[in-house]
Structure 1
Amino acid sequence: MSNLKLQKVLYYVQAEFLVVTNKPCFKDKIEAWMFGPVVKSVYRNYRVYAGGNIAVGNSKQRHHIKKRDMELIQGIVDECDQYSNSSLMQIIFKQSPYRDVYQKYFHNTISNKTLKDFFEEE
């Protein structure tokens, strides 16, 4: 998975957690950038891969993720895997949480409330 696609997956993971658990999956803000939603800290961590796939290795860091949470995450990853990055981008561009805050030269935050409200109605 590329960093650009990962950003879109994180957008949907956060939305899924907000709707299903009423809590965010992660604390970082999601910003509306030119090519879609971005979690800045994750983007910076993986930008060395540019447009290529992120290398997955044997990380010494292990995070305990509850089984239920992992199932939610995996469901979103599997759903998003069916789409190309550009297809996901086109879908997100039409969704109000992104569309309503995006400005060409500013990275405005997509609020968790906006995400939750939009996806609860879907």
Structure 2
Amino acid sequence: MNYKVLDVCRHIINYSNEKGYGISNLKLQKILYFVQAYFLIDKEKQHPCFDEKIEAWDFGPVVPVAYHEYKAYGSGNIPTIKSYILINKNNFWDSKRVEFNDNIIKDEDKKLIDSVVDSFHEYSATDLVSLTHRQTPWINAYKHYENNEITTKAIKEYFDD
């Protein structure tokens, strides 16, 4: 089962804050890329964590949906998410605030996601940008002024060595 990337983001943000790591939008984007990689190469899962695409932007891999959700925080840390606004695309006025339910993500999947966050928490967002800029999934997809997709196939091939 694949999750919605924004649910994965909310879990990562809350876990990062609970552990005292903090997480900016730029760092969140790189963590999502590594979470996707870990899910793709996990011997039991071997499927994406989320279906939304990852693109090669100037500062490394980015999930556009997630980027736009949290861009208002700039380079600052994103606060804990207790609730969020669920937007009704058919009728904006029917949008509502809902509590974030972390049980959407299975415990075994949370463990894998948390292990990725734990592995990279000491790296700055800039460190992670540099790291992803040296990896072929981003290198092969990146073209200046284009937001080309970094495919799950490219991620799996690179990390499965």
TM-score class, shorter-chain normalisation, is over 0.9
**TM-score normalised by structure 1 residue count:** 0.96
Moved more, 53-62 or 98-107: 53-62
Matching residue's letter, 2:143: Q
* 2:33 pairs with 1:11: yes
Q: CA deviation at 1:115?
A: 0.3
Secondary structure in 1 matching 2:141 = coil
**1 CA distance for matches of 2:136 and 2:116?**
19
**Are positions 1:84 and 2:124 aligned together?**
yes
Contact 2:58 2:144 in 1 (8 A): yes
Of 44, 56, 59, which residue of structure 1 is paired with 2:80? 56
> What residue identity is the alignment partner of 2:122?
Q
Matches of 1:66 and 1:26, distance apart in 2: 13
Q: Are 2:81 and 2:100, in contact at CA under 8 Å, matched by a contact in 1? A: no
The answer on 1:117 being equivalent to 2:139 is no
User: 5+ residue gaps in structure 1?
Assistant: none
| Separation (CA, whole Å) in 1 of partners of 2:122 and 2:76 | 18
Query: 2:107 pairs with 67, 80, 83, which one?
Result: 67
CA–CA separation in structure 1 for the residues paired with 2:77 and 2:35? 19
Identity of aligned residues (%): 44
Higher relative contact order (CA 8 A, sep 6+): 1
| Mapped pair 1:35 → 2:59 | yes
**1:32 is matched by which residue type in structure 2?**
A
After the TM superposition, which parts of structure 1 deviate over 2 Å for at least 4 consecutive aligned residues? none
Quick check: 26-35 or 48-57, which moved more?
48-57
* Structure 2: distance between partners of 1:19 and 1:29: 17
- Which piece of structure 1 moves more, 19-28 or 51-60? 51-60
Local SS of the residue matching 2:149: strand
1:34 shift after superposition: 0.3
Cα-Cα RMSD: 0.8
Map of 2:148 onto structure 1:
108
The residue type equivalent to 2:106 in the other structure is K
Q: Mark the runs of 5 or more structure 2 residues left unpaired by the alignment.
A: 1-22, 84-98
